[in-house]
Amino acid sequence: MGESAGGQTGSNEVTNTCIETMTVSSHGCDCDVALTPVVLKERAHAILNSLARAKADCEEQMRSMRRVDLVKAVTGTSAIERAIDETRQTIDALESRG
């Protein structure tokens, strides 16, 4: 399995007691943020909301340009729909762990 970010060897499972840190610079400064299960769920919900807005924007642009989503035409699911589904699965997994 190898060594995790916290220096421990073993499973990569997320547990309620797992606290990781990472550097976040989305607002221009580097900060250490504790990634507790609550923080992970909040971030996943924020990502899901952002993806839903992006999907609506993209669909509107595609309609206005009279274009077809080729990925969706071939696979039946657009790339952004797949990202939304995977984000929902991640949220469900996080919520089932507590």
Span 6-27, pLDDT tens digits = 444 444 444 433 444 444 445 5
Any idea what DSSP says for residue 40? Answer: H
Phi, psi (deg, nearest 5) at residue 67: -115, 160
- Assess if residue 3 is contained within a domain: no
**Euclidean distance between CA atoms 26 and 29, whole angstroms:** 7
**Euclidean distance between CA atoms 60 and 64, whole angstroms:** 6
* Count of domains observed in the chain: 1
- Assess if residue 31 is contained within a domain: no
- Assess if residue 6 is contained within a domain: no
Span 33-62, pLDDT tens digits = 678 888 999 999 999 999 999 999 999 999
- Assess if residue 72 is contained within a domain: yes
- Assess if residue 13 is contained within a domain: no
- Assess if residue 73 is contained within a domain: yes
Radius of gyration over alpha carbons of the chain, in Å? Answer: 18
Identity at 95, one-letter amino acid code: E
Split at pLDDT 50, 70, 90, the class of 32 is low
The answer to pTM > 0.85 is: no
Which residue range(s) make up the domain with 89? 37-96
- Assess if residue 43 is contained within a domain: yes
- Assess if residue 7 is contained within a domain: no
The predicted structure's pLDDT at residue 17: 38
